Amino acid sequence: MTDATTFLDGLAEQKPDPLLELIAKFADDPRSGKVDLGVGVYRDETGRTPVMRAVKSAEHHLWETQDSKSYIGPEGDPVFLRALAMEVFGEGHGGKQVAGVQTPGGTGALRLAAELLAQQRKRKIWIGTPTWVNHHAIFSSVGLQIGNYRFFDIGKQAVLIDEMLGTLQQAAPGDAVLFQASCHNPTGAALSQQNWRDIADIVARNGLLPLFDSAYQGLGRGLQQDMAGMMTVLEAADEAMVAVSCSKSFSLYRERTGAAYLIGGSRTSLNKGVGNLASYARTSYSMPPAHGAAIVATILQNPSLRKAWSDELDSMRIRTTEIRRAVAAAFGKFRPYLAHIGNQEGMFSLLPISPDNVRRLRADHAIYMPDSGRINVAGLRIEEVGAVVEQIGPYVI
Ligand SMILES: Cc1ncc(COP(=O)(O)O)c(C=O)c1O
């Protein structure tokens, strides 16, 4: 007789997500004036992650007009996919042929891209380090071989562009390379247009397959500006993939809204690619959740809602940039190289701080961040920047 619990007991123990643990610790901390720099979401000056006004209006419109909740199919809503593609790739898609499927968030899009790559295991995927914690997990979970290129020097707060280009020179033709389009998580590091041109040259020369993770469009320099580097590379590449997340740009986190786009040479090859993406969708979650995509499609198709959305996104970016500059100026007094934080973009920066000191900072001053030292500058109010940085300063290397 087998024990009924044997199956579950035989499973590997999974570590709890450290960021979720941090959120729980923060919530349990009774100290007033505690500061949460660990969150991965945008916060306004009152510490909230609000529903955007255009999103509320679109939801209202949908509530009044939506007359069915019937299935939409594994590819998702073509109207959403077309409208979002215009936003991401611009009018005319940079002269490229584009096709895609709607996905449950950016993570869903990355997972589908990983599944597609894993069909041809001779391909390796190159991932920059450090990167978003989930990247390695997603690509290794489909059994892909992973190569790393060093991307960022924390101690200098600088992109290791020469090292990165050197590693990519060694990549085999057909290998995939993961890039973050803007607002790099966790470093905030921004590549220059010249950097992107150099990357585009290697991609074209070596026949590499770029995979862009675009999760923060509009939160770095602006809606179009954030895509400029990616477009430079896409124009040079024969084929590419782009995983788009609407979680941050539309503040739709829990609605799980995103898309996986393919860029290819012909309609026939794109249709084949989309067919494969849809088939993976069918066997995992069948079809993507509809509500968030319906909101995005409603906003992007209506000029006044689109303007309200992009204005609010602008104000989120401006607030984040102001705090970033104040943080950089304050840190610069402790360590001059930390003034480079001011040249970075998006919500995140990576502090050179040991995990022990992260814990001390939490115990001594109720300032919360993950062991990696990633901070979300949008977690601060402008008036508290000076005092908080003064407390963190002595703990950084
Ligand atoms: C770089 C990066 N890619 C993708 C995602 C995934 O976003 P989503 O919540 O849409 O799955 C995130 C979320 O934090 C991210 O930071």
Mean pLDDT of 292-315: 98
pLDDT, residue 397, reads 86
Whether 40 is in the pocket of ligand 1, judged by its Cβ within 6 Å, is yes
Task: Determine, yes or no, domain membership for 8.
Answer: no
pLDDT, residue 260, reads 98
156 flagged as catalytic: no
Atom index in ligand 1 nearest the CA of residue 247 equals 10
Distance 67 CA to ligand 1 centre (A): 31
Distance 106 CA to ligand 1 centre (A): 5
Does residue 224 share a domain with residue 173? yes
DSSP string, 202-230: HHHHHT-EEEEEE--TTSSS-TTHHHHHH
Structure tokens at 306: 């689109």
Distance 248 CA to ligand 1 centre (A): 8
Position of tokens 């320099």?
221
Among 132, 175, 196, 226, the one annotated catalytic: 132
Does residue 158 share a domain with residue 26? no
153 flagged as catalytic: no
pLDDT, residue 120, reads 85
Number of domain units in the chain: 2
Does residue 61 share a domain with residue 39? no
Looking at residue 379, the DSSP 8-state letter turns out to be G
Q: How far is CA 120 from CA 123, 124, 215, 240, in A?
A: 6, 9, 26, 15
Which residue's C-alpha comes closest to atom 15 of ligand 1?
215
Query: Alpha-carbon distance 31 to 232, whole Å?
Result: 49
From 42, 131, 247, 254, mutation site for ligand 1 pocket: most ligand atoms within 8 A of C-beta? 247
Does residue 147 share a domain with residue 272? yes
- Domain end, chosen from 278, 304, 330, is at 304
Task: Determine, yes or no, domain membership for 381.
Answer: yes
Atom index in ligand 1 nearest the CA of residue 213 equals 3
Does residue 373 share a domain with residue 319? yes
pLDDT, residue 16, reads 87
Task: Determine, yes or no, domain membership for 2.
Answer: no
Distance 40 CA to ligand 1 centre (A): 9
The CATH number of the domain holding residue 364 is 3.90.1150.10
pLDDT, residue 19, reads 87
The CATH number of the domain holding residue 230 is 3.40.640.10
Task: Determine, yes or no, domain membership for 7.
Answer: no
Element holding 38 (H helix, E strand): none
Does residue 132 share a domain with residue 84? yes
Pairing of strands 158-159, 152-153: antiparallel
Q: What is the pLDDT of residues 174-212, one digit of tens each?
A: 999 999 999 999 999 999 999 999 999 999 999 999 999
Of the candidates 160, 223, 182, the one whose C-alpha atom is nearest the C-alpha of residue 347 is 182
Q: How far is CA 374 from CA 38, 92, 120, in A?
A: 7, 37, 34
Q: What is the pLDDT of residues 26-81, one digit of tens each?
A: 999 999 999 999 989 999 999 999 999 999 999 999 999 999 999 999 999 999 99
Residue 326 belongs to domain spanning: 17-50+310-395
Task: Determine, yes or no, domain membership for 3.
Answer: no
Task: Determine, yes or no, domain membership for 285.
Answer: yes
Position of tokens 């989930």?
134
Query: Alpha-carbon distance 237 to 203, whole Å?
Result: 6
Return mean pLDDT, the chain: 96
Query: Alpha-carbon distance 151 to 164, whole Å?
Result: 6
| pLDDT > 60? residue 3 | no
Does residue 213 share a domain with residue 293? yes
307 flagged as catalytic: no
The SS3 of residue 330 is: helix
